[in-house]
Structure formats: structure tokens, C-alpha cells
Structure 1
């Protein structure tokens, strides 16, 4: 079983750094119309390059839940922790999952006890779920030797937010236990970003949430950027105005997306989408009056 999983962990080289995609679960077809309501079948059909990898021929978007793991500057890093197992969630696609995520993470060479740093792009249920796991009826940190890191603006926003019960439940089982264990750090992320280790930077990408951040990797002339949810799907490269129904600030989200895509277009930076279906990664190139993703298949 371990050998089978190990051979199925996709990866990309970024200079001397190998970035592994750790799969959790494909998201159901109903996710696209709910999450990106303006990405209608007609809009999707107008972008032939989306087929067959990122959308089917009926215009239904393909989306995934996965994390990224890599070693940089001696640190074993995990970016976002997916939905998690056994979590009580209002979204039926996320409720009480039973996946082999931790086995896949271990097969990639990152057993939970070995992880040094967990970067949370933002504090939504499908990005923090594996922060914790159930041990004898209690939610305990999955990565006990790690620091969990998110932006200070993100944590402070949710601290003052009038949460509905489903979101309170997510904080109770996936965020607060990490805080109570003394493992959650928050950091100011200025407009120009902040370097947290050699070759590892956090970039502010607000809009989806106020403190949302993207993760930039550089090594020996190679560069990559992990999106979090500032871009949910490659259709947003062609139509940056297409936003998510759960964006806190839709105008800011669109502005962030346009600025980010403009900075990446025509460069060799590898864009790694946190919800992009395989091939997941690619380079941003100019296309018509916006952009498209030029896929870079995993090794």
C-alpha cells in the first residue's frame, strides 16, 4: 500500500525544491456552480483550453482539495490542510470524510510528526481541517512538532466576526485546539510580502478573506506561487471578474487576482492552484484580452 501511494504523489521541481501535491479528495460537480456562479457553461465553453483537464465538455468545472508539501531552507513545510476527517460540516461534500490524506502525506515523505511548519493561507473549513485529528474523542494537533502560521489580519478578522454555528464549529475543532496547544503563530504580512525563510515568502492576496495570503517559493532561478483561494479555478485566468460566492470583499478579490495574474504573465513562475484539478500547475500566459494556464504536468 505504501509503495502504491508513494508512486502516486505528483511533484514539481522548483530549482532545488521539490513540491509535492498531497491529494485529499476531488470535489463533486455541484461545487463549481455553487462556488463560482458566474462561470456558467457558456463562459466555460468559450475557453477551449479548459477542456478536458479543468472542465468537462458540458462546462462543469473540475475542482480538487489537496495540500502542497516541500522542504525549503531545512524546513519541512505543508501549505493548507484540506477538509479533514470526521469533521461535522454543513457542506455535505465536506461532512464526516474518511480519506487517506495522512497516508498520502507520509508516502510523500512527510509523516505528521516530521512537519516543521504549516502555512494556512486563510481560515476556511477546507483549508484547516487536518490541523487536528480526533484522538480518544478530543481534537488534537495533527502536527505536534510544527508551528502553524497564518496572517495576523486573518485571525483578527475572524475573532471579531459574528460567526454562524457551522463556522463556530470549524473553529472549535480545527483552529482553537491548535491555539490552546500554543502552536498557532500570526504574522504581519505587509504589501510587499514577508520572507519567513530563505526562498519562502508570504504574499498578501486579500479579498477572498481580509488576511488571505499566497505562498511564493524561489530556488536557484526557479519560482512558484501557491494560490490558496485568491484563484479557485483556471477559468478565472480568462475571466478575472469571476469571483467566489464566499468572497468577503468581491471587488478586492478581483483586484487582487488581476494584479497577481498581471505580475505572473509571461514569466517562468509556476502557478500551483490549491483547488486546481490535475495537472494542477502551469504558467500564466497572455490569451485574448486576459490569460490562460499553460499546464506543466507533474513528474
Structure 2
């Protein structure tokens, strides 16, 4: 609990993902080795020099409503060349069994941005007949991402075939069902939760701020893939479309997190999954990790 908001974490997958300095270009070998004591095993596998990440969804209960943040990979998706091609999981079963939430109970779905691992469970199949997974929910989509990855911008300028598949499977059905709500700049969900644009990783990437009862958190999406980016905020991930802009946004978010004592909750941190940010000279360091259980 943070204030009056309950936070439930559902991990869909966790494991070694990519070589550490492939995932976070510009980060030094020395940086990883100097912090081996806490990076391993939740964030780094020293033996293989591979970064460890989690693919996870956050379920919030706020003001009598249920909000799902970044609903994972989805089942049965066409992802040629990806380890998650035709992925199958028990995500919906665990959503009900562990979080006590049925799909029809969800009031709001937040996509911090429109990458595959953040929108998969927006919809469910069979393949080719995708419909919204959460039939009563309002889906909040960053307008800039909807434009960039949608047909108006030829599915991300046609750079990746995956972008078209992702949009057609996980986004277009929301528009067809009348459940998509596009937003830009800021969007207030309720008195405790506010979305804020933080472009760079994608054109519309965003963060979700929580402020309740004097306690604060910021769900930062993919502004960070590894906690080494707290120590080296100038280093964007290899997945950022605009690394320079992403780095500027990351520093801004970290500065506010340190000043306002916000718990930073990134999309892909393993282990506890969330951490306090502290100032260290002109930079930042890590404070305490979150004290909640993984479900």
C-alpha cells in the first residue's frame, strides 16, 4: 500500500535478456563489475555478462477502481525472430487467482507506451479475431505512439514488421471497440494517479505518477531497463528510438524522484522491482528496495 493505493505486481517472465552493454550501450564494464554485489543475480548474470530483466504488469486499486498498467506480452502472438513468438502463459489465471481480478473487473488499462511487451494482453484471440481482454475498461494510449505505430505513420515508418503486427493485434481492436482513449501531455486518472508524457524511448512514452496520503511513486515504463541507468542516467537502452531525448527525460524523472521521495517503479527491474532514488553529488544512487512480495 502507498497511501490509499494498493499495488500488486504480476511477473509474466524474468530471465537473462541481452548482453549487458548491448542492452545499455555506453555503460562501462567497470560500472557493472563495481556493483556486482547487488546487481547479481536479479539484474545481471556476471558469468555470462547478460542483463536480467522482468516482464511484468502492475495492478492498482485506487478510489474503488482497478487499473492495469502495461499488460504484458499476450498469448499466441506473431513475433518472428523473438523468443516470445507464439508465447503462452497463465497470465489471466494468475490475474484472477493471485490479484483477485477478473478481466471484467478492470476499469482502466494504462499503456505507458506501445511496445509489444506492454500491450499484449490488451486483447485476446483466437489469432485474427482479437477483441479487448478487459471488456469494461477504458484503455489509455499515448496519442504520439498511436500515431507513430499506427497506419497514419505507416506502422513506425515501416522500420520493423513487428510494429504493424503489434498495432493490428493489440491496438486496432481497441479503436474498433470504442474503448481507446488517446491523450497527450498529462492525463489525470483520479485524485491519486496522473499520466505524464516522457518521450524518447518512443515518441509517446510516458510515466504514471502516484501521490496518496503523503506517499509517492512513479511508474517509469521503459525509461530504465536496468538499475545501472540510475547510476549512469546518460546511458539509454538500445531500444530507445531517441536516446538523447530519453536520457534527458530519465534525468528529469530521477531528479524529481530524489527530491519528492518517489518510489521508482520501472517496467523491467527484477528482484523487488522498485527502488528509492537518492542524490549522490551531481548524480544519483539507489536507496532501499521496495518491501512487497511478488505474486
TM-score normalised to structure 2 length: 0.89
Q: Contact (CA 8 Å) 2:23, 2:51: kept in 1 or not?
A: no
**2:50 is the alignment partner of 1:60:** yes
**2:204 is the alignment partner of 1:211:** yes
1:136: how far off?
7.6
The 1:208/1:29 distance shift into structure 2, 3 A limit, reads closer
1:278: how far off?
1.4
Hey, what does 1:50 align to over in structure 2?
39
Number of equivalenced pairs: 284
Q: 2:157 aligns with which of 150, 155, 162?
A: 162
Q: Distance in 1 between matches of 2:272 and 2:147?
A: 35
1:194: how far off?
3.3
1:116: how far off?
0.5
Q: 1:185 aligns with which of 181, 187, 191?
A: 181
Q: Distance in 2 between matches of 1:114 and 1:194?
A: 22
Q: Distance in 1 between matches of 2:14 and 2:227?
A: 16
Q: Distance in 2 between matches of 1:31 and 1:168?
A: 27
Q: Contact (CA 8 Å) 2:67, 2:106: kept in 1 or not?
A: yes
TM-score normalised to structure 1 length: 0.88
The 1:147/1:32 distance shift into structure 2, 3 A limit, reads farther
1:108: how far off?
0.5
Q: Secondary structure at the match of 1:67?
A: strand
Q: Secondary structure at the match of 1:293?
A: strand
Hey, what does 1:238 align to over in structure 2?
231
Q: Secondary structure at the match of 2:200?
A: coil
**2:95 is the alignment partner of 1:105:** yes
The 1:55/1:288 distance shift into structure 2, 3 A limit, reads farther
**2:64 is the alignment partner of 1:74:** yes
The 1:154/1:15 distance shift into structure 2, 3 A limit, reads same
Q: 2:110 aligns with which of 95, 115, 119?
A: 119
Q: Distance in 2 between matches of 1:246 and 1:26?
A: 18
Worse-matched range after superposition: 117-126 or 34-43: 34-43
Hey, what does 2:23 align to over in structure 1?
35
Q: Distance in 2 between matches of 1:262 and 1:220?
A: 21
Q: Contact (CA 8 Å) 1:27, 1:93: kept in 2 or not?
A: no
